[in-house]
Chains A and B, each alone.
Chain A
Amino acid sequence: MRTPCRALRARLLPLPFPVLVAAIAVVLALSMPQAAAAEALAGSYNHYFGNLHSHTSYSDGVLTPSDAFRHARHAAGMDFHAVTDHGYYMQEATNLHHWFLAHEEADQFYEPGRFVTLVGYEWTFTDGHMNGFDTPRAASRDTQRNLTAFFEFLEEHDGIGVFNHPDYDIQPNWNDFEYRGLGDRQVSLIEVGSGPYRHNVRNERAYRRALDRGWHVGAVSSQDNHRADWGTAAPTRTGLIASELTREAVLSAMRGMRTYATEDSNVRVLFSSGDSVMGDEIVIAPDAVMSGKFLEFQVYVADPDGADRLELVEIVSNGGEVVWQSAPERPQAGEAGKAGEEVGAYEAVVSLTPRSSYNWYYLRAVQVDGDVIVTSPIWVTTGSGIAVCDFACVDTVVRSGVTARVRAEIVNRNEQAMYGVTAVLYEAAPPCRRAVSSQRVDLAGWSGTDIWFDWNPAAPGETGLELELLMPEREAPLIFPGAPLLVRRADITRVLIDEGHNNRYTGYMDGFLALLAASDYSPRISEEPISLDALADTDILVVNLPEIGFALTPTSFEQGELEAISAFVQRGGSLLLAGWSIGPDGSRTGEQFNALLELMQAAVRFADDELQVDGSSSICAYWGPSEVGNRPVFASEACPLSIEDRGATVEVFARAADGRVFAAGQSIGGGRVACLGAPVYSSLDLKRDLYGNSDFTLALMAWLGKGVWTAN
């Protein structure tokens, strides 16, 4: 029998709050200790600590569930422990008996009130692994061969699902948490902390993404033990609140998401609002959104270890926005006592104004030793079952008077489809709010629907977007705000990056685009052939050396394209050419670049060679005086430049350690041309913290934009 934990609690909001707290969420932080509601509520729950993900030799771990339970209880001192061996190990014809054996062992070690044992299984799937609990059999990748089959299995047995180790580096995270209603009904938890062996990986990014995309999931921290270190691999724990320590109560707390992920083994945390606690959903009237009305939240954090003081407490909401923050001063009431004795709890009452028709809030606490604690969320919604995520302008740079594209995903968490919903896009720069565009949209049940708008921002400056949804049978609209954005002037420098010629680092220009967008440029990528028409809206053209070889685009330039580039420069455009060291198989050569430079009568040439230091294909190029903040530039597989005409006015921007030229430029006709031995602005190279590639790139762009070379 499933415990009804995902209760929707209709709540009356307190009286309107003075209007000074307008659009931006929050915040009235009364972070002084208020030993009222929170403590009372905390007293009605007990805190228990355990681990919900581990393996034994029944799959790819070691020893047996008995060993695991014994260790978890006595060596790790936990209150509950789950053995979750891989489901495909426990299938008929192989080792089905392990599944039953594990349950027998769990029963032997189960002592209500003292230690709770659970047996689940890990379902290993390409999109991401998941744990399952409370089902009579284990699901296996061989039987439940896709996500739908697994969700159907969980539904059939009313099992509990967990998103395991949602690390974007190791798995696609269920198509980036694409919303699936059937799954949301059964999946209750997500490993915000996950332990590959002895260290903990923080998956808060994935947690936030899941919440943004509409999933009802709570936070746990699991160790995923594959060795005999159940609970002792790390002090990380899943904390849960329940009235008693029984298997039923633990499962009920898991379903109800009354949990938190903690890197500290015994910190007691409670995040609540009135009689709702973490894992609950509070329903407010639609007109309460952005009305200035607020909700009170109670924060309670207590660690029995005196040294584990709190450094930071914050409440995180939609999109990862921190809507409240406090740096508690310790010690507090109670004063320090003996180890193991409560030192005095940190408590706060926080008033938050719901900004959206779908809000989630979770508590995040950081202790002085760096341990992070993340609770399950409390949802505050209008009860419509509608969430909106990825509501933003997709253009890298928004310019006034230039049409931009706006996208939003509307997630219908209801099983039923909704037809004839009116979606209205507003541009909202308080106190002004103007309707930009509207459309009718049908929302399929239990899934997300994308909508697109065209938006022509009227004036430069900071602004915001709002999405209003008018549901057919509801009077009050649902309101969803977007993140604030900056509309830039129409005439900022426009940069075009060529990716139409199988260019080096095609697909690795994201970092460059972001850097330019953040620095008042308007960059775009083009896969089209180059012509004067194509360059009509361009101030700076960036071309990385084409590669001769496997390609979907031409691997060299037509003569007409070279002539167009030359003419573009003559007429005042600027050009950046970035080379590549000569390929061992003739797949790259500077010939065409040199032909173009000759056509433009430039003095710089790309040499068919490689800049190398100590045999390494990576080099440091030095630019300007070596002052603080003027770090060398990193380049790999770079070629040297030669300067043909000694009489020409060529500015050398950077040299390799051996003195050979790495970057140089000159004015030609009305424009400027810069040459680089390698594209130092690839996403890979911009990430290298020890190097000054970003600064160098911006200095180069400024020079190309007819500025002066700042380093000289």
Chain B
Amino acid sequence: MSSLACVLYCESSETTRLSRQTTALSFAGRSERVSVEYEWCDAIEKGGCSGLLCAGWESDLKRSAVILLIAAFIVTTLAIGPTLAQQKTTITFWHAMGAQLGKTIDMLVEQFNSENPDVFVKAEYQGNYGALSQKLVGSLVARKPPTVAQVYGNWAAEYITSNELVPMEKFIKGPNGLSSLEIDDIWEGLRAGCVFDGVWYTMPFNKSVYVLVYNETALKEAGIAKPPVTWQELVTAANALTIKDGDKIVRYGFGLRPNVDYFACFFFNAGGAWLDAGGKVTVNSPEGVKALQFMADLLSKYKVSYYVPGYLDADFGAGKVAMYLTTSPGLSYTDQSVAGKFEWSAAPLPYMESRSKSTPVAGTDLAIFARASEKEQQAAWKFVKWLVEPRQTAKWAIGTSYIPVRKSAMHLEIMKQWFAEHSREEQSLQQLRYIKYDPNISAWSNIRGDISEAVEKVFLGKATAKEALDAAVVKANARLK
């Protein structure tokens, strides 16, 4: 039955090739039998079918040849199939990558599955990060977590306290581990974010940094030669880029969002640190107040900015705002929104003083769950290790605009060529030396909420920066107790 289904997939034209992919997707999460079918199809394609498929089906001769070939494969695979299926280790990979990002994940997983006949990775999209987090927590309660998942540092911290994760260190130091050269090849800043109490637990995966996006055409029109580097330059440029029509603002110089991530972009660049030496949240430090006050001033004092809860790329593309901050994968959305209407580019985040130049690193890491069997854990490690190999991390970066997590990926021809064509994405890499990340503590999810609330309150004119951050610190530190 399964082989018949396979023949049906492979026997028809381009249209079915597409439907085959879709079918495979909708099957994700079902039985292993389906996965074997899927792999067979791949094997046929690799074995020479694909060329014929592309060539079309003009002649009966060709058709007969292909059918013969397929038949030969069926015979072979029927013979070895059951053995393979028995030996194959299936692991689940939960992720939150939708749209183009999801397509890139699927492409990579498909490649891994075809290159590794002993492992089958079921990639399962769980919705956005909120949904992924919710579902991970649910799965842990139900004692049925996936084998591998994307996790934020603070989620990982929580899972670690209940021994739900296997330290990546176990595999890195194991027989199929990483050499010290390979370890050094992973950006230090990204690696550091994966260490919890001195133990390396997770693997950097979809990492990005914040950059300043600016409308180059508008900047030129306003007589500004280069994107703003300092906060003062940001205010000056934003003011020059703000267009008023009577009492209405037609275009804002700069766009803000009322959340902790945008705040971090200013907080770090004011020299702020989330925690003091004693591990207490000190976001109400003079740096914190300065950063939040500066954001509020952009809105109310200088009147060069506005804020929206959602994404800013649509407004940027529509010319409603001339500069905003986004992470590197946001650049592809920006490009779609701009759609060639004007020139635009990206630059490092403006800083308050050059010594505090920095950028928050965003995105998740990969974690392997302890509930998996040793065999599954090893299979999961094989997948994780493979995903961050230079060749794959480069493909990942190209498909998604995330940062390649390996330095050597930069020497790959495809990567060089891509950066040559995508100078904006290269800006992210320039910032890798200045990255700062969130504390890996389990309470951080909620503390992020406390800080976001403070930012919102100030934007809404309900509290001063100091009052709002004081209140956030009281709440945050109560969570640490």
- Which positions 262-295 of chain B face chain A at CB distance < 8 Å? 286, 290, 294
Contacts of A125 in B (CB 8 A): 310, 314
Task: Give the size range of B's interface with the partner.
Answer: 35 or more
A707 in contact (CB, < 8 A): no
B236 in contact (CB, < 8 A): yes
In the assembled complex, the Cα of A506 lies from the Cα of B128 at a distance in Å of: 39
Contact bitstring A499-526, B, C-beta under 8 A = 1, else 0: 0001000111000000000000000000
Q: Which residue of B lies closest to A618 (CB)?
A: B467
B301 in contact (CB, < 8 A): yes
Contacts of B26 in A (CB 8 A): 97
Contacts of A127 in B (CB 8 A): 308, 310
Given contacts A93-B106, A550-B231, contact A88 B98 (CB under 8 A): yes
B309 touching A91, Cβ below 8 Å: no
Min distance, Cβ A122 to any Cβ of chain B, angstroms: 12
In the assembled complex, the Cα of A169 lies from the Cα of B135 at a distance in Å of: 29
Contacts of A683 in B (CB 8 A): 461
B239 in contact (CB, < 8 A): yes
Contacts of B461 in A (CB 8 A): 508, 683-684
A170 in contact (CB, < 8 A): yes
In the assembled complex, the Cα of A687 lies from the Cα of B466 at a distance in Å of: 17
Contacts of A507 in B (CB 8 A): 297, 299-303
B340 in contact (CB, < 8 A): no
A637 in contact (CB, < 8 A): yes
Contacts of B312 in A (CB 8 A): 126
Min distance, Cβ B407 to any Cβ of chain A, angstroms: 31
A88 touching B466, Cβ below 8 Å: no
Q: Which residue of B lies closest to A147 (CB)?
A: B314
B128 touching A637, Cβ below 8 Å: no
- Which positions 394-444 of chain B face chain A at CB distance < 8 Å? none
Min distance, Cβ B60 to any Cβ of chain A, angstroms: 35
Contacts of A616 in B (CB 8 A): 470
The residue that B308 contacts in the complex, of A62, A126, A142, A617, with Cβ under 8 A, is: A126
B69 in contact (CB, < 8 A): no
In the assembled complex, the Cα of A551 lies from the Cα of B302 at a distance in Å of: 8
Contacts of A94 in B (CB 8 A): 98-99, 102, 125
Min distance, Cβ A177 to any Cβ of chain B, angstroms: 14
In the assembled complex, the Cα of A551 lies from the Cα of B460 at a distance in Å of: 22
Min distance, Cβ B467 to any Cβ of chain A, angstroms: 7
Min distance, Cβ A277 to any Cβ of chain B, angstroms: 36
B72 in contact (CB, < 8 A): no
Contacts of A57 in B (CB 8 A): 127, 131, 135
In the assembled complex, the Cα of A618 lies from the Cα of B463 at a distance in Å of: 12
- Which positions 319-348 of chain B face chain A at CB distance < 8 Å? 336-337
A552 touching B99, Cβ below 8 Å: no
Q: Of A57, A93, A125, A683, which is in contact with the most chain B CB atoms at under 10 Å from its CB?
A: A93
Q: Which residue of B lies closest to A127 (CB)?
A: B308
Q: Which residue of A lies closest to B258 (CB)?
A: A170
Contacts of B185 in A (CB 8 A): none
Contacts of A97 in B (CB 8 A): 26
Q: Which residue of A lies closest to B298 (CB)?
A: A550
Q: Of A57, A92, A94, A585, which is in contact with the most chain B CB atoms at under 10 Å from its CB?
A: A94
Contacts of B308 in A (CB 8 A): 126-127, 171-172
Q: Which residue of A lies closest to B466 (CB)?
A: A617
In the assembled complex, the Cα of A684 lies from the Cα of B457 at a distance in Å of: 11
B127 touching A89, Cβ below 8 Å: yes
The residue that A126 contacts in the complex, of B125, B236, B309, with Cβ under 8 A, is: B309
B50 in contact (CB, < 8 A): no
Q: Which residue of B lies closest to A508 (CB)?
A: B300
The residue that A636 contacts in the complex, of B294, B300, B464, with Cβ under 8 A, is: B464
A108 in contact (CB, < 8 A): no
Contact bitstring B117-132, A, C-beta under 8 A = 1, else 0: 0000000010110110
Contacts of B68 in A (CB 8 A): none
In the assembled complex, the Cα of A93 lies from the Cα of B100 at a distance in Å of: 9
Min distance, Cβ A541 to any Cβ of chain B, angstroms: 20
B315 touching A145, Cβ below 8 Å: no
Q: How many residues of A contact B (CB 8 A)?
A: 45
Contacts of B300 in A (CB 8 A): 506-508
B479 in contact (CB, < 8 A): no
In the assembled complex, the Cα of A215 lies from the Cα of B128 at a distance in Å of: 33
A145 touching B303, Cβ below 8 Å: no
- Which positions 240-269 of chain B face chain A at CB distance < 8 Å? 246-247
In the assembled complex, the Cα of A141 lies from the Cα of B314 at a distance in Å of: 10
B55 in contact (CB, < 8 A): no
Min distance, Cβ A589 to any Cβ of chain B, angstroms: 16
Give the number of residue pairs across the A-B interface with Cβ within 8 Å: 108
Contacts of B470 in A (CB 8 A): 616-617
In the assembled complex, the Cα of A687 lies from the Cα of B467 at a distance in Å of: 14
B294 touching A550, Cβ below 8 Å: yes
Contacts of A221 in B (CB 8 A): none
B317 in contact (CB, < 8 A): yes
Given contacts A145-B314, A684-B461, contact A93 B102 (CB under 8 A): yes
B480 in contact (CB, < 8 A): no
Min distance, Cβ A131 to any Cβ of chain B, angstroms: 16
Min distance, Cβ B173 to any Cβ of chain A, angstroms: 37
Min distance, Cβ B315 to any Cβ of chain A, angstroms: 6
B41 in contact (CB, < 8 A): no
A16 in contact (CB, < 8 A): no
Q: Of A91, A142, A394, A552, which is in contact with the most chain B CB atoms at under 10 Å from its CB?
A: A552
B247 touching A394, Cβ below 8 Å: yes
A318 in contact (CB, < 8 A): no
- Which positions 450-470 of chain B face chain A at CB distance < 8 Å? 456, 460-464, 466-467, 470
A145 touching B336, Cβ below 8 Å: yes
In the assembled complex, the Cα of A102 lies from the Cα of B310 at a distance in Å of: 26
A584 in contact (CB, < 8 A): yes
A95 in contact (CB, < 8 A): yes
The residue that B301 contacts in the complex, of A124, A506, A617, with Cβ under 8 A, is: A506
The residue that A550 contacts in the complex, of B297, B317, B463, B467, with Cβ under 8 A, is: B297
In the assembled complex, the Cα of A124 lies from the Cα of B470 at a distance in Å of: 32
In the assembled complex, the Cα of A89 lies from the Cα of B135 at a distance in Å of: 15
In the assembled complex, the Cα of A600 lies from the Cα of B343 at a distance in Å of: 55
A66 in contact (CB, < 8 A): no
The residue that B463 contacts in the complex, of A88, A142, A684, with Cβ under 8 A, is: A684
Min distance, Cβ B131 to any Cβ of chain A, angstroms: 5
In the assembled complex, the Cα of A502 lies from the Cα of B337 at a distance in Å of: 36
B213 in contact (CB, < 8 A): no
B25 touching A145, Cβ below 8 Å: no
B464 touching A684, Cβ below 8 Å: yes
A126 touching B98, Cβ below 8 Å: no
Contacts of A89 in B (CB 8 A): 98, 127-128
Contacts of B75 in A (CB 8 A): none
A584 touching B98, Cβ below 8 Å: no
A550 touching B309, Cβ below 8 Å: no
B315 touching A126, Cβ below 8 Å: yes
A93 touching B103, Cβ below 8 Å: yes
A259 in contact (CB, < 8 A): no
In the assembled complex, the Cα of A451 lies from the Cα of B68 at a distance in Å of: 78
Q: Of A60, A91, A126, A617, which is in contact with the most chain B CB atoms at under 10 Å from its CB?
A: A126
19 contacts between A and B (CB under 8 A): A60-B127, A60-B130, A93-B22, A93-B99, A125-B314, A127-B310, A145-B336, A145-B337, A146-B314, A169-B460, A171-B308, A394-B247, A450-B246, A552-B235, A552-B302, A637-B464, A684-B463, A684-B464, A687-B462
* Apart from A91-B99, A172-B308, 17 more pairs, CB < 8 Å: A62-B134, A91-B98, A126-B309, A126-B312, A141-B311, A145-B314, A145-B337, A170-B309, A172-B306, A502-B301, A506-B297, A507-B299, A550-B232, A617-B466, A636-B466, A684-B462, A684-B464
Chain B residues engaging chain A, CB cutoff 8 angstroms: 22, 25-26, 98-99, 102-103, 106, 125, 127-128, 130-131, 134-135, 231-232, 235-236, 239, 246-247, 286, 290, 294, 297, 299-303, 306, 308-315, 317-318, 336-337, 456, 460-464, 466-467, 470
Lowest 8 CB-CB distances: which A-B pairs, in order? A507-B300, A126-B310, A507-B301, A506-B301, A126-B308, A584-B286, A60-B131, A97-B26
